[in-house]
Amino acid sequence: MSDPAQAEVLYEVSGGIATLTLNRPERLNAITRPMLALLSDLLLRANADPAVRVVLLTGAGRAFCVGLDIADAVAGKGIGANNASDPVSVNLDLRNTPPTVLFNLDKPTICALNGSAAGYGFDTALGCDMRVMAESAKMAAAFVKRGIVPESGGTWYLPRMLGWAKAAELIFTGRTLSAAECLDLGLTNHVVPDAELPARARALAAEIAANAPLAVESSKRLMRMGLNESFNDHVHHVYLQFLQMKRTEDFREGMTSFLEKRPADFKGR
Protein backbone atom coordinates (compact mmCIF):
# COMPACT_ATOMS: atom_id res chain seq x y z
CA MET A 1 0.00 0.00 0.00
CA SER A 2 1.14 3.55 -0.72
CA ASP A 3 1.97 5.89 2.13
CA PRO A 4 -1.08 8.13 2.73
CA ALA A 5 1.29 10.97 3.59
CA GLN A 6 2.45 10.93 -0.02
CA ALA A 7 -1.04 11.37 -1.46
CA GLU A 8 -1.47 14.76 -3.06
CA VAL A 9 -4.97 15.05 -1.55
CA LEU A 10 -5.67 13.60 1.90
CA TYR A 11 -9.12 12.35 2.91
CA GLU A 12 -10.59 11.79 6.36
CA VAL A 13 -14.15 11.38 7.66
CA SER A 14 -15.01 12.14 11.27
CA GLY A 15 -18.19 13.33 12.95
CA GLY A 16 -20.07 13.57 9.66
CA ILE A 17 -17.38 15.82 8.17
CA ALA A 18 -15.18 14.78 5.24
CA THR A 19 -11.92 16.76 5.34
CA LEU A 20 -10.00 16.99 2.06
CA THR A 21 -6.50 18.44 2.36
CA LEU A 22 -4.43 19.53 -0.62
CA ASN A 23 -1.07 17.99 0.21
CA ARG A 24 1.87 19.45 -1.71
CA PRO A 25 3.06 21.88 0.97
CA GLU A 26 6.57 22.04 -0.49
CA ARG A 27 5.03 23.56 -3.67
CA LEU A 28 2.38 25.60 -1.84
CA ASN A 29 -0.19 23.04 -3.03
CA ALA A 30 0.22 23.98 -6.68
CA ILE A 31 -2.10 21.78 -8.73
CA THR A 32 -0.91 18.84 -10.82
CA ARG A 33 -2.88 16.56 -13.13
CA PRO A 34 -2.95 13.72 -10.57
CA MET A 35 -4.24 16.16 -7.95
CA LEU A 36 -7.12 17.20 -10.21
CA ALA A 37 -8.21 13.60 -10.78
CA LEU A 38 -7.83 12.68 -7.11
CA LEU A 39 -9.69 15.77 -5.90
CA SER A 40 -12.64 15.01 -8.19
CA ASP A 41 -12.70 11.37 -7.09
CA LEU A 42 -12.65 12.28 -3.40
CA LEU A 43 -15.34 14.95 -3.76
CA LEU A 44 -17.59 12.41 -5.49
CA ARG A 45 -16.76 9.84 -2.82
CA ALA A 46 -17.79 12.26 -0.07
CA ASN A 47 -20.98 13.18 -1.90
CA ALA A 48 -22.00 9.53 -2.21
CA ASP A 49 -21.19 8.60 1.40
CA PRO A 50 -24.28 8.76 3.68
CA ALA A 51 -21.93 9.15 6.65
CA VAL A 52 -20.74 12.50 5.26
CA ARG A 53 -22.88 15.57 5.89
CA VAL A 54 -20.38 18.36 5.20
CA VAL A 55 -17.22 18.61 3.08
CA LEU A 56 -14.32 20.69 4.43
CA LEU A 57 -11.55 21.61 1.98
CA THR A 58 -8.21 22.98 3.15
CA GLY A 59 -4.49 22.91 2.42
CA ALA A 60 -1.38 21.56 4.10
CA GLY A 61 1.41 23.93 5.06
CA ARG A 62 1.40 27.71 4.63
CA ALA A 63 -0.81 28.06 1.54
CA PHE A 64 -4.22 26.83 0.49
CA CYS A 65 -3.36 26.61 -3.21
CA VAL A 66 -1.29 28.97 -5.34
CA GLY A 67 -2.84 27.73 -8.59
CA LEU A 68 -1.65 25.46 -11.35
CA ASP A 69 1.97 24.33 -11.17
CA ILE A 70 3.57 27.03 -13.32
CA ALA A 71 7.03 25.50 -13.08
CA ASP A 72 5.76 22.31 -14.70
CA ALA A 73 3.90 24.26 -17.38
CA VAL A 74 6.96 26.36 -18.29
CA ALA A 75 9.03 23.18 -18.42
CA GLY A 76 6.60 21.83 -21.05
CA LYS A 77 4.87 19.31 -18.80
CA GLY A 78 1.85 19.27 -16.56
CA ILE A 79 -1.25 21.45 -16.79
CA GLY A 80 -0.93 24.47 -19.02
CA ALA A 81 2.07 23.19 -20.96
CA ASN A 82 2.07 24.55 -24.51
CA ASN A 83 3.49 21.83 -26.73
CA ALA A 84 3.16 22.45 -30.45
CA SER A 85 3.23 18.72 -31.11
CA ASP A 86 0.18 18.02 -28.93
CA PRO A 87 -3.04 17.37 -30.85
CA VAL A 88 -5.69 20.06 -30.55
CA SER A 89 -8.96 18.80 -29.09
CA VAL A 90 -12.28 20.54 -29.62
CA ASN A 91 -14.16 17.99 -27.50
CA LEU A 92 -13.93 19.41 -23.99
CA ASP A 93 -15.55 17.15 -21.40
CA LEU A 94 -15.39 18.98 -18.10
CA ARG A 95 -18.07 16.97 -16.27
CA ASN A 96 -15.61 15.25 -13.94
CA THR A 97 -13.23 18.14 -13.35
CA PRO A 98 -13.09 19.62 -9.81
CA PRO A 99 -14.84 22.95 -10.60
CA THR A 100 -17.86 21.19 -12.15
CA VAL A 101 -17.93 18.44 -9.53
CA LEU A 102 -17.67 21.00 -6.73
CA PHE A 103 -20.51 23.11 -8.15
CA ASN A 104 -22.80 20.09 -8.48
CA LEU A 105 -22.06 18.59 -5.08
CA ASP A 106 -25.18 18.14 -2.94
CA LYS A 107 -23.25 18.14 0.33
CA PRO A 108 -22.48 21.62 1.69
CA THR A 109 -18.84 22.65 1.27
CA ILE A 110 -16.59 24.86 3.38
CA CYS A 111 -13.15 26.09 2.33
CA ALA A 112 -10.76 26.68 5.25
CA LEU A 113 -8.19 29.05 3.76
CA ASN A 114 -5.05 28.42 5.79
CA GLY A 115 -2.99 30.61 3.46
CA SER A 116 -2.88 32.16 0.01
CA ALA A 117 -5.39 31.16 -2.66
CA ALA A 118 -4.34 32.28 -6.12
CA GLY A 119 -5.39 31.37 -9.64
CA TYR A 120 -6.92 27.91 -9.63
CA GLY A 121 -6.86 27.96 -5.83
CA PHE A 122 -8.84 31.21 -5.85
CA ASP A 123 -11.51 29.77 -8.15
CA THR A 124 -11.66 26.57 -6.09
CA ALA A 125 -12.23 28.55 -2.89
CA LEU A 126 -15.02 30.50 -4.59
CA GLY A 127 -16.58 27.21 -5.70
CA CYS A 128 -17.19 26.20 -2.08
CA ASP A 129 -20.44 27.28 -0.44
CA MET A 130 -18.67 29.04 2.42
CA ARG A 131 -15.17 30.27 3.23
CA VAL A 132 -13.35 30.75 6.53
CA MET A 133 -10.01 32.57 6.25
CA ALA A 134 -7.01 32.77 8.53
CA GLU A 135 -6.01 36.39 9.20
CA SER A 136 -2.79 35.96 7.21
CA ALA A 137 -4.51 34.34 4.21
CA LYS A 138 -4.93 36.18 0.91
CA MET A 139 -6.92 35.74 -2.28
CA ALA A 140 -5.41 36.64 -5.63
CA ALA A 141 -7.29 36.72 -8.94
CA ALA A 142 -3.93 36.96 -10.66
CA PHE A 143 -4.96 35.34 -13.94
CA VAL A 144 -4.41 38.30 -16.27
CA LYS A 145 -0.96 38.81 -14.73
CA ARG A 146 -0.08 35.35 -16.08
CA GLY A 147 -1.67 35.86 -19.50
CA ILE A 148 -4.71 33.66 -18.88
CA VAL A 149 -8.34 33.94 -17.77
CA PRO A 150 -10.08 32.65 -14.59
CA GLU A 151 -10.47 29.19 -16.10
CA SER A 152 -12.23 27.39 -13.28
CA GLY A 153 -15.31 29.38 -12.41
CA GLY A 154 -14.14 32.83 -11.36
CA THR A 155 -15.83 34.69 -14.22
CA TRP A 156 -19.13 33.00 -13.24
CA TYR A 157 -18.87 33.35 -9.46
CA LEU A 158 -17.47 36.85 -9.03
CA PRO A 159 -20.12 38.89 -10.90
CA ARG A 160 -22.81 37.05 -8.94
CA MET A 161 -21.03 37.52 -5.62
CA LEU A 162 -19.77 41.08 -6.04
CA GLY A 163 -21.77 42.66 -8.87
CA TRP A 164 -20.34 43.48 -12.28
CA ALA A 165 -18.23 46.56 -11.47
CA LYS A 166 -16.42 45.12 -8.45
CA ALA A 167 -15.87 41.79 -10.19
CA ALA A 168 -14.51 43.59 -13.26
CA GLU A 169 -12.06 45.60 -11.16
CA LEU A 170 -10.81 42.52 -9.35
CA ILE A 171 -10.41 40.35 -12.46
CA PHE A 172 -9.01 43.05 -14.78
CA THR A 173 -6.39 44.22 -12.25
CA GLY A 174 -5.45 40.77 -10.98
CA ARG A 175 -5.34 42.31 -7.52
CA THR A 176 -4.39 40.43 -4.34
CA LEU A 177 -6.82 40.86 -1.44
CA SER A 178 -6.10 40.52 2.26
CA ALA A 179 -8.44 38.49 4.46
CA ALA A 180 -9.91 41.73 5.84
CA GLU A 181 -10.61 43.00 2.31
CA CYS A 182 -12.24 39.66 1.41
CA LEU A 183 -14.50 39.99 4.44
CA ASP A 184 -15.47 43.55 3.50
CA LEU A 185 -16.35 42.42 -0.04
CA GLY A 186 -18.32 39.39 1.16
CA LEU A 187 -15.91 36.86 -0.38
CA THR A 188 -15.45 35.12 2.96
CA ASN A 189 -17.84 34.33 5.78
CA HIS A 190 -15.36 34.67 8.61
CA VAL A 191 -11.78 35.77 9.30
CA VAL A 192 -10.16 34.19 12.36
CA PRO A 193 -6.72 34.11 13.99
CA ASP A 194 -4.43 31.69 12.16
CA ALA A 195 -4.15 29.28 15.06
CA GLU A 196 -7.93 29.09 15.42
CA LEU A 197 -8.73 28.31 11.78
CA PRO A 198 -9.00 24.49 11.94
CA ALA A 199 -11.20 24.55 15.03
CA ARG A 200 -13.42 27.40 13.82
CA ALA A 201 -13.92 25.88 10.36
CA ARG A 202 -14.72 22.51 11.89
CA ALA A 203 -17.14 24.11 14.38
CA LEU A 204 -19.06 25.64 11.46
CA ALA A 205 -19.08 22.26 9.71
CA ALA A 206 -20.29 20.53 12.87
CA GLU A 207 -23.11 23.06 13.29
CA ILE A 208 -24.31 22.25 9.78
CA ALA A 209 -23.80 18.50 10.22
CA ALA A 210 -26.12 18.54 13.25
CA ASN A 211 -29.07 19.53 11.04
CA ALA A 212 -31.27 17.27 8.91
CA PRO A 213 -28.95 16.23 6.05
CA LEU A 214 -31.70 15.65 3.49
CA ALA A 215 -33.09 19.12 4.17
CA VAL A 216 -29.65 20.72 3.93
CA GLU A 217 -28.87 18.96 0.64
CA SER A 218 -32.30 19.81 -0.80
CA SER A 219 -31.86 23.44 0.22
CA LYS A 220 -28.53 23.56 -1.60
CA ARG A 221 -30.00 22.03 -4.75
CA LEU A 222 -32.85 24.54 -4.69
CA MET A 223 -30.44 27.44 -4.25
CA ARG A 224 -28.45 26.20 -7.24
CA MET A 225 -31.60 25.81 -9.36
CA GLY A 226 -32.77 29.27 -8.35
CA LEU A 227 -29.75 30.87 -9.99
CA ASN A 228 -31.33 30.29 -13.39
CA GLU A 229 -35.08 30.17 -12.67
CA SER A 230 -37.86 32.70 -12.57
CA PHE A 231 -39.45 33.23 -9.17
CA ASN A 232 -42.70 31.53 -10.21
CA ASP A 233 -40.90 28.43 -11.49
CA HIS A 234 -38.71 28.33 -8.42
CA VAL A 235 -41.46 28.45 -5.79
CA HIS A 236 -43.19 25.54 -7.53
CA HIS A 237 -39.99 23.49 -7.32
CA VAL A 238 -39.56 24.47 -3.68
CA TYR A 239 -43.10 23.38 -2.80
CA LEU A 240 -42.66 20.01 -4.49
CA GLN A 241 -39.49 19.48 -2.48
CA PHE A 242 -41.27 20.58 0.69
CA LEU A 243 -43.95 17.92 0.15
CA GLN A 244 -41.23 15.28 -0.13
CA MET A 245 -39.49 16.52 3.02
CA LYS A 246 -42.70 16.12 5.01
CA ARG A 247 -42.60 12.37 4.33
CA THR A 248 -39.14 11.84 5.88
CA GLU A 249 -38.29 10.47 9.30
CA ASP A 250 -36.11 13.53 9.84
CA PHE A 251 -39.13 15.81 9.47
CA ARG A 252 -40.94 13.91 12.19
CA GLU A 253 -37.84 13.96 14.37
CA GLY A 254 -37.44 17.70 13.83
CA MET A 255 -41.02 18.41 14.88
CA THR A 256 -40.93 15.98 17.82
CA SER A 257 -37.61 17.24 19.18
CA PHE A 258 -38.89 20.82 18.99
CA LEU A 259 -42.01 19.95 21.01
CA GLU A 260 -39.96 17.94 23.49
CA LYS A 261 -37.38 20.74 23.78
CA ARG A 262 -34.39 18.46 23.08
CA PRO A 263 -31.67 18.33 20.42
CA ALA A 264 -32.78 16.50 17.30
CA ASP A 265 -31.15 13.21 16.29
CA PHE A 266 -31.33 13.21 12.51
CA LYS A 267 -30.62 10.01 10.57
CA GLY A 268 -30.81 11.21 6.99
CA ARG A 269 -33.94 9.22 6.27
CATH code at position 128:
3.90.226.10
Q: Does 1 have pLDDT greater than 50? A: no
In a shared domain, residues 180 and 224:
no
Residue 42 included in any domain = yes
In a shared domain, residues 197 and 225:
no
In a shared domain, residues 26 and 91:
yes
Q: Against a cut of 0.85, is the pTM above it?
A: yes
In a shared domain, residues 203 and 221:
no
In a shared domain, residues 32 and 146:
yes
In a shared domain, residues 8 and 88:
yes
In a shared domain, residues 154 and 186:
yes
Q: 206 or 152: which carries more pLDDT confidence?
A: 206
Of 196, 205, 195, residue with least CA distance to 18 = 205
Domain count, the chain: 2
Residue 265 included in any domain = no
Residue 268 included in any domain = no
- pLDDT tens readout for residues 67-106: 987 665 545 555 554 555 666 656 666 778 888 999 999 9
Structural domain span for residue 229: 213-259
What are phi and psi for residue 84, nearest 5 degrees? -60, -25
Write down the pLDDT at residue 80.
53
Write down the pLDDT at residue 118.
93
In a shared domain, residues 176 and 239:
no
Among the residue ranges 73-77, 124-128, 177-181, 195-199, the one predicted with the least confidence is 73-77
Q: Does 197 have pLDDT greater than 90? A: yes
Percentage of the chain beyond pLDDT 90 is: 80
Question: Would you say 250 and 267 are in contact if contact means Cβ atoms under 8 Å apart?
Answer: yes
DSSP state of 31: B
Write down the pLDDT at residue 240.
92
Of 139, 135, 93, 87, residue with least CA distance to 118 = 139
In a shared domain, residues 129 and 203:
yes
CA atoms within 13 A on the CB side of 35: 26
Q: Does 260 have pLDDT greater than 80? A: yes
Write down the pLDDT at residue 81.
46
Written as one letter, the residue type at 151 is: E
Write down the pLDDT at residue 79.
55
Percentage of the chain beyond pLDDT 70 is: 89
Residue 266 included in any domain = no
DSSP string, 48-60: H-TT--EEEEEES
Written as one letter, the residue type at 83 is: N
What are phi and psi for residue 176, nearest 5 degrees? -95, 130
In a shared domain, residues 195 and 219:
no
CA distances from 205 to 38, 106, 111, 121, 211 (A): 22, 15, 10, 21, 10
Alpha-helix residue ranges (DSSP H) falling in 57-212? 70-74, 98-104, 120-127, 154-162, 164-173, 179-185, 197-209
Write down the pLDDT at residue 95.
78
CA atoms within 13 A on the CB side of 39: 27
Residue 250 included in any domain = yes
Return the H-helix or E-strand segment holding 35: helix 33-48
Q: 237 or 150: which carries more pLDDT confidence?
A: 237
In a shared domain, residues 217 and 129:
no
